[in-house]
Amino acid sequence: MLGDYIMSLIAWFVYTCVRYWLGGELMISQGYTTLWNFLQANNVAIGFVVFPLLMMGVYALSGYYNEVFRKSRLQELFDTIESAAVNTIIIFLIALINDMATDRTYNYEVLFILFALLFIFVYAVRAYITNAISRKIKNRVLQFNTLIVGADSEAHRLGNNLNTMTPSIGYNVVGYVKMEGEKVAPELSGQVYEMGQISDLCIQKNVQELIIAPTDCDTNDVLKTISRLYSLNLPIKITPTLSDIILHRARISQIEGDPLIDISGCSMSQRTRSVKRFADILVSLVSMTLLLPVYAILAVLIKLDSKGPVIYRQERLGLHRKPFYIYKFRSMIDNAEPEGKPKLTHNSDDRITRVGRVLRKYRLDETLQFVNVLRGDMSLVGPRPERAFFVDQIVERAPYYTTLYQVRPGITSLGMVKYGYATNVDEMIERSKYDLIYLDNMSLFNDLKIIIYTIRVVIKGIGI
């Protein structure tokens, strides 16, 4: 990031000088008799502060900073070209459009030079850093401690390949974790740990990645294992069979050696992820600002209607099964679960207050979850988060549910607009099928469609 900022600043300075020299009589006619006069102009000086920061924003939204190591050099090249083009267009619209000369050749020249300078300077430092890191990884100077989940002969073969590959792709296998019912390979004697030890093991050995080895274990058992691994909040990769690749359109994380599939993140590109997160923050800030008067009215009505706090919070499971507290306006009586046992809501639930019925009908109780979006616990669109009590029951009967933890949960979801509220575990499982469809078709366009459907549901008052 520092390299990008310095290079962007230098590129903008060089461009400013070139622009003055190419301007010739045009610059003199505007009162800039020397380059120094031009550089001291207020709008030019402000540009040295504003535009490099604006460029950094574009780089961040491109997703370039999401992955630090093991960057694709070809993808890095394309990312830099696209970012330079976007920055050129933005700067043209903000600062240059009113200064264009009648000579179109001059206009094209300054725009092309700006694009070329932004690309060349920024790409030069990026390529240097990426190549330096790549050399360190290949020479095993830089490695990533890795646990193999699996302990049979296939796991041993995989671990041995990763540790002896020349050049290295960065994995340093530090141990093997036995899956339930798995037969341990004799060659791994003394290197195998039980699944119950994995959390402490990751801390002790500073584990940075997990790889699930090929196994003869039942698919449901593997999915349950993956569910447990998500809570470690580490990258999880798996060696797939051909059918896995065809059926799940998996994303290969590297070409060399065994093809490893990343199952700890969604299928969205890094650029789309960054834009989605930016949109989440922007929409949440604007929505909460506009809804402040509504929040104040709701708080008064809730307080007058029944005893208890205005805001209700409840623990849910989010990205990688990480627990977080979800915030809502209270729509039920205080202490609605006196025995501490989670209980789902239904249409005729007498725990719902009078004001609560209106809140739930128009989903107004959910609007406070914009706070969760700002905190990074949730997204605007994503699978609805559930409590651990119900998640354990769902995973026991539908192990595929665990794949939903690749993404942040959402305020709304395809399951919510197509199915609605669930009143029991069976309905939760049925609704999750829509969320699985969403997971395989994630895009900003689909998010927009789901938000539009949600607005329609809210206006119609379709709720409990």
- Please compute the mean of the pLDDT values over residues 71-90 and round it to a whole number: 93
**183 and 130 together in one domain:** no
| Residue 226: CATH number of its domain | 3.40.50.720
**338 and 256 together in one domain:** no
Asked if residues 225 and 149 have their Cβ atoms less than 8 Å apart, the reply is yes
> Tokens 């209700």 correspond to what residue?
312
pLDDT in tens, 141-198: 999 999 999 888 888 988 998 888 888 888 999 999 998 777 888 888 788 899 888 9
**286 and 398 together in one domain:** yes
Asked if residues 272 and 66 have their Cβ atoms less than 8 Å apart, the reply is no
Q: Which residues pair with residue 175 across a beta bridge?
A: 147
Q: Which amino acid is at 210?
A: L
**41 and 114 together in one domain:** yes
pLDDT band at 248 (very low <50, low <70, confident <90, very high): low
Question: Would you call 28 helix, strand, or coil by DSSP?
Answer: helix
Lowest mean pLDDT among 44-58, 106-120, 256-270, 334-348: 256-270
Residue ending a domain, among 92, 113, 138, is 138
> Tokens 């988060």 correspond to what residue?
385
**125 and 193 together in one domain:** no
What is the distance between the alpha carbons of residues 37 and 310, in angstroms, rounded to a whole number? Answer: 61
Question: Would you call 442 helix, strand, or coil by DSSP?
Answer: coil
Threshold 0.95, pTM exceeds: no
pLDDT in tens, 12-69: 999 988 888 877 666 777 777 788 888 888 888 888 999 999 999 999 999 999 888 8
Lowest mean pLDDT among 216-225, 282-291, 333-342, 442-451: 216-225
- Please compute the mean of the pLDDT values over residues 79-94 and round it to a whole number: 93
Q: Which residues pair with residue 144 across a beta bridge?
A: 171
**131 and 184 together in one domain:** no
More confident residue, 246 or 311: 311
Task: Give the per-residue pLDDT at 217.
Answer: 67
84-112 residues labelled b (16+ CB within 10 A) or e (exposed): bebbbeebbeeeeeeeeeeeeebbeebbe
Handedness of CA 262, 263, 269, 275 (dihedral sign): negative
The alpha helices in 152-269, defined as continuous H runs, are 153-164, 198-204, 219-230, 242-248
**28 and 101 together in one domain:** yes
* H or E element that contains 389: helix 388-397
Structural domain that includes position 155: 144-262
pLDDT band at 79 (very low <50, low <70, confident <90, very high): very high
- Token pair, residue 70, equals 């093991």
- The answer to whether residue 274 scores a pLDDT higher than 70 is yes
**313 and 452 together in one domain:** yes
**398 and 288 together in one domain:** yes
Other CB atoms within a 10 A radius of the CB of residue 304 amount to 8
**379 and 288 together in one domain:** yes
Handedness of CA 401, 402, 405, 407 (dihedral sign): negative
Q: Which residues pair with residue 412 across a beta bridge?
A: 381
- The answer to whether residue 119 scores a pLDDT higher than 90 is yes
**314 and 446 together in one domain:** yes
Strands (E), 162-241: 171-178, 192-194, 209-212, 236-238
What's the burial of 447, exposed, middle or buried (CB within 10 Å: 0-12/13-18/19+)? buried
Other CB atoms within a 10 A radius of the CB of residue 377 amount to 21
Provide the CA 94 distance to its chain's centre, in angstroms: 30
To the nearest whole number, what is the mean pLDDT of the chain?
A: 86
365 DSSP assignment: G
Task: Give the per-residue pLDDT at 189.
Answer: 79
Number of domains in the chain: 3
pLDDT in tens, 286-301: 999 999 999 999 999 9
Residue ending a domain, among 262, 294, 317, is 262
**233 and 336 together in one domain:** no
- Please compute the mean of the pLDDT values over residues 235-253 and round it to a whole number: 59
pLDDT in tens, 208-231: 999 988 776 677 777 788 888 888
Distances (CA, A) of 400 to 225, 226, 331, 377: 11, 10, 32, 22
Residue ending a domain, among 138, 164, 183, is 138
DSSP-assigned states of every residue in 283-336: HHHHHHHHHHHHHHHHHHHHHHHSSS-SEEEEEEE-GGG-EEEEEEE--B-SSS
- The answer to whether residue 255 scores a pLDDT higher than 50 is no
Task: Give the per-residue pLDDT at 249.
Answer: 47
pLDDT in tens, 391-422: 999 988 888 888 888 899 999 999 888 888 88
